[in-house]
């Protein structure tokens, strides 16, 4: 069974709609948006951003600028103790309004088509029948409906709503969408604003050392121990290799000695020397094996 998700539009849904945003300074979270996204996440939903970005095709900004905008959005959300599970955008636009030829196309990714939702579902293992699409426009609702999601329209949605794209629910803001999808999440105790994630106060009122500092210190101690252990093992290995080499020499000498007796038809003496050569050779191989696998 696939995972459940809440797909959310960007402009007018979680940030203020300032038109085609190519400047990170224009990114402003809507009131209650971060809290709503945290509620979805606490209830077990993946939260995935789905956004048309035709400003790229129109030549208003490039993809690098969009990445900076999204980095600013992620920064603001992380300050509110939330992180998106995925971000998908469509830079394409059909028709003469698309000034950049590389992005002039009728793409299946562009809402109201469901391409971005299909891509996210494939990459993140999402089941649409257990998921929601939330947006402030008819294209968001239609994309969600075509994918098989339940849909929530934020605000009035303008005058472009059609019979085929009526939402499952209509709300005024993202927090009201929480009341539809997971109302119990709003009653869970949130983390205190003055107590950052990953850091707690002890009973004496003093904060313990940062977890990252402790982990780094333990890692350094482990590395030093590993280096010391390797040096000691290398020393042992060198002795074993030397011993193995000496045994190898003895095996060669004993074999040559045995061959000489064999040439003189002294079979008994030759056999004893050759057996000694085998013994030295076996001992040499054993020494090298211990050196390698110890």
At 160, the pLDDT band (50, 70, 90 cuts) reads low
Q: Is 257 helix (H, G, I), strand (E, B) or coil?
A: helix
Looking at residue 73, what is its pLDDT?
Answer: 98
Question: Is 11 a residue of the active site?
Answer: yes
Which pTM was predicted?
A: 0.64
Residue from 1, 42, 7 nearest 148 by CA: 7
**Least confident piece of the model among 138-142, 154-158, 174-178, 200-204:** 200-204
Report the percent of the chain where pLDDT is more than 70: 77
Report the percent of the chain where pLDDT is more than 90: 59
**Least confident piece of the model among 89-103, 190-204, 240-254:** 190-204
Q: What is the DSSP letter of 11?
A: B
Looking at residue 45, what is its pLDDT?
Answer: 98
Q: Count the neighbouring beta carbons within 10 Å of the beta carbon of residue 198.
A: 8
Write out pLDDT tens, residues 128-156: 999 999 999 999 999 999 999 999 999 96
Q: Find the catalytic residue in 9, 136, 140, 291.
A: 9
Q: Count the neighbouring beta carbons within 10 Å of the beta carbon of residue 137.
A: 24
Question: Is 9 a residue of the active site?
Answer: yes
User: Which of the listed ranges 101-115, 184-198, 255-269 does the model predict with the highest average pLDDT?
Assistant: 101-115
> Among the residues of the chain, which ranges form H helices?
33-42, 63-79, 115-124, 138-147, 174-181, 211-263, 267-293
> Among the residues of 55-114, which ranges form H helices?
63-79
The residue ranking higher by pLDDT, 289 or 100, is: 100
**Average pLDDT value for residue range 99-115:** 98
Looking at residue 175, what is its pLDDT?
Answer: 96
The residue ranking higher by pLDDT, 218 or 55, is: 55
Write out pLDDT tens, residues 63-93: 999 999 999 999 999 999 999 999 999 999 9
Looking at residue 269, what is its pLDDT?
Answer: 82
**Residue tagged 């000496």 (tokens):** 246
Residue from 91, 87, 71, 1 nearest 37 by CA: 87
Tell me how far apart the alpha carbons of residues 61 and 101 are, in angstroms, rounded to a whole number: 14
281 pLDDT higher than 70: yes
């Amino acid at each position: 069974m696939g995972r459940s998700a809440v797909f959310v539009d960007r402009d007018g849904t979680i940030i203020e709609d300032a038109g085609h945003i190519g400047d990170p300074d224009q990114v402003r979270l809507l009131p209650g948006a971060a809290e709503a996204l945290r509620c979805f996440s606490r209830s077990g939903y993946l939260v995935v951003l789905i956004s048309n970005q035709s400003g790229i095709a129109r030549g208003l900004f490039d993809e690098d600028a969009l990445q900076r905008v999204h980095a600013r959005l992620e920064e603001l959300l992380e300050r509110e103790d939330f992180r998106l599970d995925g971000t998908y955008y469509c830079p394409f636009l059909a028709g003469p309004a698309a000034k950049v030829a590389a992005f002039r196309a009728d793409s299946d990714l562009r809402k109201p088509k469901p391409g971005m939702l299909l891509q996210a579902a494939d990459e993140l293992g999402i089941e649409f029948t257990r998921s929601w699409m939330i947006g402030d426009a008819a294209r968001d609702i239609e994309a969600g409906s075509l994918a098989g999601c339940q849909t929530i329209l934020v605000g009035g949605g303008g005058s472009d709503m059609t019979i085929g794209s009526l939402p499952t629910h209509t709300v005024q803001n993202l927090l009201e969408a929480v009341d539809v999808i997971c109302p119990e999440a709003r009653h869970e105790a949130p983390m205190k604003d003055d107590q950052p994630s990953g850091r707690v106060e002890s009973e004496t009122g003093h904060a313990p050392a940062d977890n990252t500092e402790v982990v780094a210190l333990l890692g350094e101690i482990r590395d030093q121990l590993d280096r010391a252990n390797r040096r000691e093992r290398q020393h042992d290995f060198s002795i074993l290799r030397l011993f193995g080499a000496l045994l190898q020499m003895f095996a060669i000498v004993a074999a040559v000695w045995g061959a000489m007796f064999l040439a003189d038809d002294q079979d008994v003496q030759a056999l004893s020397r050759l057996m000694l050569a085998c013994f030295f050779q076996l001992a040499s191989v054993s020494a090298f094996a211990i050196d390698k696998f110890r």
